[in-house]
Each structure stands twice: as structure tokens, then as C-alpha cells.
A and B are shown apart, each in its own frame.
Chain A
């Protein structure tokens, strides 16, 4: 585990990092993100000692990195930079194997390892290994950059905006590949970017920085759903969550405290309640507040006995949702059951909310409406 304890960095009088403390958990892919000048790259480069810290301590598995030999430290820490940082005068093979060769590893094992890594990023070893970096596309070069960082089988991999110079399509597929590699190899990765989409897509944990401080350090979901402050909310962007609808939970947009009635309430009084509360549906609940059924205006009018209790008129709900279900689950359910109202119940079956068609429409339309307001603002 890598720990930063009250790390500061100042270039002359310019404070770049203002006492940050954080842990990078083993096996996780942590993304450092923030506007330029926030200190994210400085933080990364302090971990492999390319930049010395002014104050504080950085520990790796409890050991201060200052006491570890620089070269030894870096060889256990893959490093990927923009465009891969491949050496133009070396072939792809020489680039990938350089550290292994210097470490004096067995030739045959190096050979096997290189082929295995090439396979992992889906590149033809026979075709590419003897080429020079300039003969490869940007995406191919960056793939090689990544597997060079993995070649010496380090415990950690640091990536400094590795995909920022690539076109969106290539970037996207490399992000997928990186996530894949991360999952397969279980390395601890630290990834610096300024692209929030990228961060949300690949991160296990995101650290948002500004002016040398950490604003929020959490999982992507938490950051999307509960930004720590306005800056984060703004930086993340209100609509960002629509890029990851799996993070939109029922509880985020359901109608809380829906209109309910007791099973003993008469049809006549049910109609009065509907009219007074301007709703179409009443949720019929039991003593503990558990959902029993639904009565709506149509079924109440179809019944000619005004004193008949709701418990005898009600229909069972076509489906129910739970607060932690995502909007995707709900939409699928509605599509399947053709329900217009979906009661939300907790684990004990008690009513906690309601989803209605109009409620879903307004929630889903928010992303477009907010886009429009942003556009208008942008035109000012």
C-alpha cells in the first residue's frame, strides 16, 4: 500500500501541494484528477521520486521511499507517460525488454513474457516486435507503453495522462483494455488524467484535487451522487451521471411520502382523498406500513358501493422497486410489465416511495433540459 502523509511540495515560494494525505489501496486503480495546476502530476511523480517532496512522508508498505534506492523503487513501479515515452531508436522489443535485460533476467523467460504481454493487448508479436515506434500508430505505441510498464512485473504502475493525445475512439478502446489488464493482473495502478469520463470509466477510486489540496477522495459513484462541494459538483458536471445511468438510484428520484391509505378506508373517502391530493393512485398499506395493493380512480369509480373498503377494491401492484435499484432496472421492469406506477418498497415490504410515469419522464428529460440551459449560458 502506498501512503501519503501530509506531503507538501513547493517550488520556491509557489506551493504546489499543501499537505495532502491519502492511501492508495493495493490492487485498486486510483485516478488523480483535477484542473491543471492542481498538483496531480506532481503527486504522481513524487511517488516514483522523479520530484522530491518538500515535506511529509510517502510510505510503501510502511517503508519511507526516501530510504529505498531510486532505481530499485522505479523498477518496481511501471511508468507510462503521454505517447508512451517509447525510445525512438529502439525497436518495440528493445523498448519492452529494456528493464528486464538490465535486471539480467533469463532470455527465454523475457521472450515468453513479451509475447504474453503482446497477446494481452491483442498485438501480433511477430509483426510488431522488430518495428520501431515511429512505424506504429499512436494507440499502438501507447499499448506498448503500457506493457513496457508491466514487463518487469512491478507491484505498482503509474500512468501520467497516458491516453490524452489519442483520438476519442482509440482512447476509449485503450481505456477498456487498461481496465481489462487491471482486472486480470491485479496491479495497484495510479492514473493521472483531466478527463472526468475517463476517470469514471476506469477508476476504482477517484481523488479530485484543486490548488494542491484533495477535495474529495471516493468511489466514482459516491462522487457522482454526492459531490463534496460545489466545485466538485461543477467539475464533475451535473449531467455526468447520465453517462453512467447505473449509478442513478431509484431513491434519487422517487416520490417520497406517496399518498397512502388504510385498507379499511371506504371507496367514497378514497375518491375524496384522490381529489384533494391531486393524484390518480393510492397505495394501500397495512398496519406496519407494508404495501398491500393499489387503488386508482378508475377502479374506484367502477365500484358502485361507496362504503366498500379499499382493501376489497385494491389490485396487487404489477411490480415493485427497491430504493437501491438503478433507473435502468426500473425502465426494464416497466417495459416488461407495462406498469404506469411502480411503488418503491424497502426490504421489509414497507412503502418508501413511488415512481410514476410523469415522474420518470421529468427525471429522464432533465439531462436534455439542463444541457439546453448550459448551452444558453455558453452563448452569453
Chain B
């Protein structure tokens, strides 16, 4: 508990910044959802033929998993704030549309007839009678949407839009529970706060006449209302200030020479983003925007292609097998050269590859290794029918991982395969829930859990040398980057990366600090 507060204290500025980001994005998304949803709800309450298709569609969209929606949004909208906001808008629409529709069509027909009969124009019937009368119901929908949006917005971090989800994601990757809580607790508080504020709005738009007095006199109710208005007004002003402040900030920041450095969502990538950003900033006048935790390879690759990020570090094997769809090969130079050549066609330039080879390996605990006498992957194949594999989703689905293994060893058949997220598989192995896991060769967790790495004698897994990938346009704009990045590449060896990963994963240091400390130690900056 005390450690948690210490963590919160040490990272308060980051938590605060992410909270503001979170509020900003949520507020924008909900506002836009209201601007779309309310007119849409009104429309379908007038054009009755549309109500079923529209509500049906909104229901279907609501049922799509948010991860899937984000994945689908990347090729169209890229990464960052825009797709995150779009996703939240899409999810927020249903309650708003539905409540608006219900509110408007639920008005006593006698009331509408009276409004028409005394000579209001159709527009006046809508604005003076229907909307005011439906407003409490509409606001209830907005309230549901807003509260959901706060929670949903944590997904934004998955595509590099920041927000409190960043802490949650980063915390899961680095098995740092305090970091997870640092994201989750403010998100909860925010959701409760939004619920409270929207509840006030809901109450305020309900005419006094339609409210339950709860034993209060008219005067007391009026006084209470004034207080509620004041609270709400303050909140609205604050939120506006945050949005305007954010906009001004990003505009000011946008004037400098600037590139965006992206990274995938595991420890090594977090360190690499900071290593490269710090190094580039130290040796050029270019400012680096760090976009860490961008999901997997596909997210980064699509973002780079779209120009949402200017560079990220990928691995030759990944590019070769997963992006370019070639079969595995052990020729380190051949893989690299093919990648350079073929990525060029996709407007992506590769600089010199790093010295470390973070290839896939399979790891087991010392006990298992001893029990089954495992040294190499070949040994493992023989015993595979007795072993339970816990691996990442990527490992299970990538063409050059489990498929490559099966191709090399047709007799391979695990007792069971459980796909899970990155860090939990170490915990699962430690708890003996699984027997074998996939791992990266430089993974600090291997050191933490004292795992046995099985040798890959047959070179089943392609070489995974880290290689900085640039959007070719960025390199053209800032040619100096090529030289700077090439300088750093040979410095990053297997030992260095393993050590840095260990410092983050096991010693619980911040990737940012670890990167900086290394660069300073080595006199690189």
C-alpha cells in the first residue's frame, strides 16, 4: 500500500498528464457522439422506417470487441488520438441514439397534438416541446455513454493515443501492479466523477415540475438547483480549459522539427523507443515524440506506412516472415538484404541492423528441463506430447513461429497450447500451469525466473536482429538521421539488451530511466 502511494507520488506528473489527456479525448468523443447521436435519434423518431435498421446497426457495432474495432481502424485512420476518439464515438452512439429515439417517440401524443393544434410549426414542436420533454431521457443516454467512454478510452493506449490506459498497458507488460493501479484508479475516479456530473445535468434538464421533490419545498429545490448549476458550470469550464489547453499545447509543439518514434508493447521496445529518441535528440536538433505501447508489429507497421509514426524498431525475422511472408531461413545477411529491398517498395527504409538478435526461443523451467532432460528444441519435440505450451498470440498465429516449428519437426504435438498475453505466461510457467513458453532471446524475464532456454540447432526461427525502420519520406526530410541511427546500432548487443530488459522487468526500473542511464554510462550522450 505504502509502495503504491510512493509510486503515485513519484509519477504524479505523468499520471496527471495522462489523466488530462484522458479527459480531453473522452470529452471530445462524447461531444461528437452527442452531435451525431441526438440528431440521428430524432431523425429515426420521425422517419419510422429507419428506426429498426439504425438501432440494429448500432447494436451490432456495439457488439464488436473494441480491440477488433481498433485493429480495423488502423489501416483507415492510422494510430493515435483520431482512431481512439472515433472508436469511442462509435461505441457511445447506441445509448444516445436509443434514448433520444425512446424519449422523443415516448412523448404523449396528446401533447404533440396540442402543440400542433395551437399552431406551432413542426420545427417549433420539436425544439419547444419534444426535445425539452425528452431531454431527461436523452441525458440519461448521454450519461451512460459518457461513463462507458471513460472506461473504453483506456483502450486508446493500445494505438498510442495515450490516456490512462497507457499506464494499465505498460503495467501489464512490465508486470508492475502499481503502474496498473496508477492507471486504473484515476480511471475509476474519473468514471464516478463523470457519472456524478452527468447525473447533475440530467437533473437540471428535468423541469422542476417533473422532479420528485423528496420532501423539499419549492424554495429549497430552487436553491439546490442553483448549487447544482454552479458545480456543473465549474466542471464544464475546467473541461473546456483542458481541451483548449491541450490544443494550444500541441499546436506549439507542432512547430518544432519533430519526428514520432513508435514502439511495440513490450519491455525491450519501450527501452528502444527511449534509447533512440534520447540519442537522436542528443545528436540532432530534432525533437522526438515517443509513442510507446503501440500493440504488435501490425499496428506499428501500419502506423509507419500511414506516416503516423516516423520510425520504430522492428526485427528482421518479423519483417521477413510476418510482413513479407517469406519462409524461414538462417541466412542473417540474406534476410536483411531481402527486407531492405522489399520494404523499400513499401516506402519504408531500413537502416543498419543492431548487434542483438532477439529471436524467438522456447524456454522451460530448470525442473522441467531436468525432469525431461531437455537441452535443445529437438529434445523438446520428442517429449512434446507431455508438455503444455503457453505462448503469445503472436507466436501462435505467426507464420514463422509455431508453423515453422511444425514444418521443421512434423512429429511435434503439444499436449495443449494456451495462448495468452506477453507477461502472464512467465507467471503461468512459474505457477506450473504451463510447461513451455515462447520467449525472446533478450528477455529480462528469462533472467528473473531463471529459465532454461532451449537451443535452436536447426535454425528453425529466422534471425531477429533489431533494425530501425523509417518512413522513407522522413529520411528524405531529415537525412542526418541515417548517420545518427547507424552509430547506435553496433552498441546494442545481446548482453546490453538482456541487461537493460532485466533492469526494467526484474528490478522494476522505468524504461526511460534505464535507457538514459545506459546512454550516459557509455558516454553516448
Interface residues of A (CB under 8 A from B): 45, 48, 50, 71-75, 77-79, 81-83, 85-90, 98-99, 102, 132-135, 148-149, 152, 158
Give the 6 A-B residue pairs with the shortest CB-CB distance, closest first.
A85-B114, A132-B209, A74-B119, A79-B117, A75-B119, A89-B207
CA distance A196 to B128 in the complex (A): 37
Whether B207 and A98, one on each chain, are in contact in the complex, defined by CB atoms closer than 8 angstroms, is: no
With an 8 A cutoff between CB atoms, is B115 at the interface?
Answer: yes
Q: Which residue on B lies nearest to A85, using beta carbons?
A: B114
With an 8 A cutoff between CB atoms, is B220 at the interface?
Answer: no
Whether B209 and A133, one on each chain, are in contact in the complex, defined by CB atoms closer than 8 angstroms, is: yes
Contacts of B115 in A (CB 8 A): 87
Whether A88 and B209, one on each chain, are in contact in the complex, defined by CB atoms closer than 8 angstroms, is: yes
Contacts of B128 in A (CB 8 A): 87, 98
CB-contact partner of A81 in B117, B129, B132, under 8 A: B117
CB-contact partner of A99 in B119, B207, B208, under 8 A: B119
Contacts of B129 in A (CB 8 A): 87
CA distance A227 to B118 in the complex (A): 36
Whether B210 and A88, one on each chain, are in contact in the complex, defined by CB atoms closer than 8 angstroms, is: yes
Query: Contacts A82-B110, A87-B129: A149 and B118 contacting too (C-beta < 8 A)?
Result: yes
Q: Which residue on A lies nearest to B121, using beta carbons?
A: A71
With an 8 A cutoff between CB atoms, is B397 at the interface?
Answer: no
Whether B117 and A132, one on each chain, are in contact in the complex, defined by CB atoms closer than 8 angstroms, is: no
CB-contact partner of B118 in A72, A74, A89, A132, under 8 A: A74
Whether B113 and A85, one on each chain, are in contact in the complex, defined by CB atoms closer than 8 angstroms, is: yes
CA distance A74 to B124 in the complex (A): 14
Whether B118 and A79, one on each chain, are in contact in the complex, defined by CB atoms closer than 8 angstroms, is: yes
Query: Contacts A82-B110, A85-B110, A85-B111: A74 and B207 contacting too (C-beta < 8 A)?
Result: no
Most A CB contacts (10 A, CB to CB) among B113, B114, B119, B128 go to B119
With an 8 A cutoff between CB atoms, is B116 at the interface?
Answer: yes
CA distance A133 to B124 in the complex (A): 20
A131 CB to nearest chain B CB (Å): 8
B221 CB to nearest chain A CB (Å): 12
B279 CB to nearest chain A CB (Å): 64
Interface residues of B (CB under 8 A from A): 110-111, 113-121, 124, 128-129, 132-133, 207-210
Whether A87 and B119, one on each chain, are in contact in the complex, defined by CB atoms closer than 8 angstroms, is: no
Whether A81 and B210, one on each chain, are in contact in the complex, defined by CB atoms closer than 8 angstroms, is: no
What is the total of A-B residue contacts with beta carbons within 8 Å? 71
Contacts of A86 in B (CB 8 A): 114
Query: Contacts A132-B207, A132-B208, A133-B209: A85 and B124 contacting too (C-beta < 8 A)?
Result: no
Contacts of A89 in B (CB 8 A): 132-133, 207, 209-210
Whether A81 and B124, one on each chain, are in contact in the complex, defined by CB atoms closer than 8 angstroms, is: no
Query: Contacts A102-B124, A135-B209: A71 and B114 contacting too (C-beta < 8 A)?
Result: no
A326 CB to nearest chain B CB (Å): 40
CB-contact partner of A87 in B111, B116, B208, under 8 A: B111
CA distance A90 to B111 in the complex (A): 12
A221 CB to nearest chain B CB (Å): 32
Q: Other CB < 8 Å A-B pairs besides A81-B114, A89-B132, A135-B209, 5 of them?
A: A50-B113, A75-B118, A87-B128, A102-B120, A133-B209
Contacts of B113 in A (CB 8 A): 50, 81, 85
CA distance A340 to B197 in the complex (A): 86
Whether B117 and A74, one on each chain, are in contact in the complex, defined by CB atoms closer than 8 angstroms, is: yes
Whether A134 and B209, one on each chain, are in contact in the complex, defined by CB atoms closer than 8 angstroms, is: yes
Whether A81 and B110, one on each chain, are in contact in the complex, defined by CB atoms closer than 8 angstroms, is: yes
A137 CB to nearest chain B CB (Å): 14
Q: Which residue on B lies nearest to A160, using beta carbons?
A: B117
Query: Contacts A81-B114, A98-B128, A102-B124: A71 and B119 contacting too (C-beta < 8 A)?
Result: yes
Contacts of A149 in B (CB 8 A): 118
Contacts of A158 in B (CB 8 A): 117
Whether B116 and A50, one on each chain, are in contact in the complex, defined by CB atoms closer than 8 angstroms, is: yes
CA distance A88 to B136 in the complex (A): 13
B107 CB to nearest chain A CB (Å): 10
Whether B118 and A134, one on each chain, are in contact in the complex, defined by CB atoms closer than 8 angstroms, is: no
Most B CB contacts (10 A, CB to CB) among A72, A78, A79, A133 go to A79
Contacts of B117 in A (CB 8 A): 45, 48, 50, 74, 79, 81, 85, 158
CA distance A75 to B133 in the complex (A): 22
Contacts of B121 in A (CB 8 A): 71
- Residue pairs across A and B with Cβ atoms less than 8 A apart, 21 shown, are A45-B117, A50-B113, A50-B117, A71-B120, A73-B119, A75-B118, A75-B119, A77-B119, A81-B110, A81-B113, A82-B110, A85-B113, A85-B114, A86-B114, A88-B207, A89-B132, A89-B133, A98-B118, A98-B128, A102-B124, A133-B209
Whether A134 and B120, one on each chain, are in contact in the complex, defined by CB atoms closer than 8 angstroms, is: no
CA distance A84 to B26 in the complex (A): 44
Contacts of B207 in A (CB 8 A): 88-90, 132
Q: Which residue on A lies nearest to B118, using beta carbons?
A: A79
Contacts of A133 in B (CB 8 A): 209
CA distance A73 to B116 in the complex (A): 11
A110 CB to nearest chain B CB (Å): 15
